[in-house]
Amino acid sequence: MSTQPISANQPHFFEDLAELKRQLTVEGELVEARVSRAMQGLDTRDLDALDEVAIGDAEVNALQMAIDDRAFKLLALYQPVAVDLRVIVAAIKINADLERVGDLAVNIAEAARRYLAAGRALPEQKLLPRMAEIAQTMLHDALGAFVTGNLGVAQAVLERDDALDSLREQTFRELVDVISQHPEVVQPALELLSISRHLERVGDHATNVAEDIFFVVAGEDVRHHAGLTRSE
Amino acid sequence: MSTQPISANQPHFFEDLAELKRQLTVEGELVEARVSRAMQGLDTRDLDALDEVAIGDAEVNALQMAIDDRAFKLLALYQPVAVDLRVIVAAIKINADLERVGDLAVNIAEAARRYLAAGRALPEQKLLPRMAEIAQTMLHDALGAFVTGNLGVAQAVLERDDALDSLREQTFRELVDVISQHPEVVQPALELLSISRHLERVGDHATNVAEDIFFVVAGEDVRHHAGLTRSE
């Protein structure tokens, strides 16, 4: 942690900053749990669970606004510099990413509902639960790395994104085959395809978080270096 | 524009802030032009144009890093408060949104290439060019509203997002019909479907920008008020 004079003159600064990180962790756990519940609802055909995810994002939204508000006040009150400033700027971006993951949980739940409503079960998709697990672990690790400033963990998150992208492509090919052979299931197959896209995007947001950690810790912008490629 | 003492003490602050807005406008025009070129490439089957968009995002990425850097330095050097601080925080978020639109232009160009490579023309999709036009206008207007602080224009951007979402759903239904009747074109049809999703997401990013303007001008967070709904 830095020892700039400005921050040192403000005894509450570090408490407020720790609280900002704590709130981001809570938000991260919340959106992870919502993605997980949506995927579980799809797996167990639990419409109640899916409805709950689809309509229940008020808590995420309230938390997101509280975090933005805290970050803004930290900037305005303490006028931090160097690493403290970078942490807060990163927190503002991470907050936006986590809120989008919350939106993606809603999108997954809605697609899962439409899939179940179509009433035609497709061959079991084993790739989707694997994608969900990777995406959630990436997000969890990225947030942990943000709190601890661990660049090794952040780097590992960046590297796992390729595995997720390749599972998404595999899912795409499998579903194209299913649709070609059984055109009557095109609609439910497309819903599963959307879910795979949403999960890939959860991983993209985790990647954003991991990239922000390099900016915070090293003052470096890794986003467009090191052969990082991404698709949205 | 505000007249805080801190800013007033720093004669270069307003110049730097104006330059930040100018750079965001340039970035916005660049990503708009790239979306437009990708859609034109699809329409005219121009593989060179598509290749150019697919591989040419270095300029957007460089501009994005320059903008982040300038915003960060503005915070660190001038420690602005109130509306000036809100403009810079908003600029950081808008910059992230514009870079994602740049990524979406790449995604559109790649999907269009795969569509053309499949070698099976589908019935003409009139909805995609309309979606592109709405999405680009939303983005253009949102950035204009950010520079001028015009809330009326920002509100109009938010309202147009529903039209875009409904065109996306219409595209989805049309393509489901095409696939059901001609399962041999499932793959090219899915590429067009991805393009419609990418265009919808360009509109979502424009919506993010418009929401940030309310935060800047009114100090209000409209994101989760006023019945705003969104899908990613």
pLDDT value for B232: 43
- Half-sphere exposure of residue B112: CA atoms within 13 angstroms, side-chain side: 33
Please state, for a pLDDT cut of 90, what percent of chain B lies above it. Answer: 77
Mean pLDDT of B93-111: 95
Least Cα separation, residue B94 to chain A (angstroms) = 10
Of B107, B110, B176, nearest to A190 by CB-CB distance is: B176
Q: Do A110 and B231 touch (CB under 8 A)?
A: yes
Mean pLDDT of B42-67: 95
pLDDT value for A38: 98
User: Given pLDDT bands bounded at 50, 70 and 90, which one contains residue B9?
Assistant: low
Give the 3-state secondary structure of chain B: CCCCHHHHCCHHHHHHHHHHHHHHHHHHHHHHHHHHHHHHHHHHCCHHHHHHHHHCCHHHHHHHHHHHHHHHHHHHHHCCCHHHHHHHHHHHHHHHHHHHHHHHHHHHHHHHHHHHHCCCCCCCCCHHHHHHHHHHHHHHHHHHHHHHCCHHHHHHHHHHHHHHHHHHHHHHHHHHHHHHHCHHHHHHHHHHHHHHHHHHHHHHHHHHHHHHHHHHHHCCCCCCCCCCCCCC
pLDDT value for A224: 57
User: Given pLDDT bands bounded at 50, 70 and 90, which one contains residue A219?
Assistant: confident
Comparing A23-27, A118-122, A131-135, B74-78, the range with the smallest average pLDDT is A118-122
CA distance A208 to A91: 11
Place of tokens 């399962």: B183
CA distance A51 to A56: 8
Q: Decide: A89 and B72 in contact? Cβ < 8 Å.
A: yes
pLDDT value for A226: 43
| B228, closest residue in chain A (CA to CA) | A61
CB atoms within 10 A of CB A18: 12
Q: Do A89 and B72 touch (CB under 8 A)?
A: yes
Least Cα separation, residue B184 to chain A (angstroms) = 6
* Residue B196 confidence (pLDDT) above 50: yes
User: Given pLDDT bands bounded at 50, 70 and 90, which one contains residue B220?
Assistant: low
Mean pLDDT of B164-184: 93
Short-list A132, A174, A146, CA closest to A43? A132
Helix (H) or strand (E) holding A70: helix A58-78
* Per-residue DSSP letter, A184: G
Give the 3-state secondary structure of A118-129: CCCCCCCCCHHH
Of A85, A100, A180, nearest to B75 by CB-CB distance is: A85
Mean pLDDT of A70-84: 91
pLDDT value for A81: 87
pLDDT value for B152: 96
pLDDT value for B229: 38
Q: Do A92 and B92 touch (CB under 8 A)?
A: yes
CB atoms within 10 A of CB A69: 11
B149: Cβ–Cβ under 8 A, 6 or more apart, which residues? B213, B216, B217
* Residue B225 confidence (pLDDT) above 70: no
Of A64, A110, A232, nearest to B107 by CB-CB distance is: A232
pLDDT value for B231: 43
B181-193 pLDDT, tens per residue?
Answer: 998 899 999 999 9
* Residue A75 confidence (pLDDT) above 60: yes
User: Given pLDDT bands bounded at 50, 70 and 90, which one contains residue B124?
Assistant: confident
- Half-sphere exposure of residue B205: CA atoms within 13 angstroms, side-chain side: 29
A182-215 pLDDT, tens per residue?
Answer: 988 999 999 999 999 999 999 999 999 999 999 8
pLDDT value for B230: 44
Least Cα separation, residue B40 to chain A (angstroms) = 21
* Residue B165 confidence (pLDDT) above 90: yes
pLDDT value for B1: 44
Q: Do B183 and A180 touch (CB under 8 A)?
A: yes
Q: Decide: A31 and A108 in contact? Cβ < 8 Å.
A: no
pLDDT value for A116: 95
pLDDT value for B123: 83
Helix (H) or strand (E) holding A167: helix A151-181
Q: Do A96 and B93 touch (CB under 8 A)?
A: yes
Please report residues of A whose CB lies closer than 8 A to that of B110: 231
* Residue B43 confidence (pLDDT) above 60: yes
Helix (H) or strand (E) holding A225: none
Token pair listed for B108: 């559109």
Please report residues of B whose CB lies closer than 8 A to that of A104: 232
Short-list B59, B121, B62, B69, CA closest to B91? B69
Comparing A62-76, A143-157, B11-25, B207-221, the range with the smallest average pLDDT is B207-221
Of A64, A75, A232, nearest to B75 by CB-CB distance is: A75
| pLDDT: which is higher, B211 or B8 | B211
User: Given pLDDT bands bounded at 50, 70 and 90, which one contains residue A229?
Assistant: very low
* Residue B58 confidence (pLDDT) above 90: yes
- Half-sphere exposure of residue B167: CA atoms within 13 angstroms, side-chain side: 24
Mean pLDDT, all residues of chain B = 89
Q: Do B198 and A232 touch (CB under 8 A)?
A: yes
User: Given pLDDT bands bounded at 50, 70 and 90, which one contains residue B125?
Assistant: confident
A149: Cβ–Cβ under 8 A, 6 or more apart, which residues? A213, A216, A217
CA distance B139 to B144: 9
pTM value is 0.87
Mean pLDDT of B75-79: 89
Q: Do B65 and A110 touch (CB under 8 A)?
A: no
pLDDT value for A231: 43
A41-61 pLDDT, tens per residue?
Answer: 999 999 999 999 999 889 999
Comparing A14-28, A146-160, B7-21, B101-115, the range with the smallest average pLDDT is B7-21
Please report residues of A whose CB lies closer than 8 A to that of B224: 58, 61-62, 64-65
| pLDDT: which is higher, B19 or B120 | B19
Short-list B156, B206, B159, B191, CA closest to B31? B206
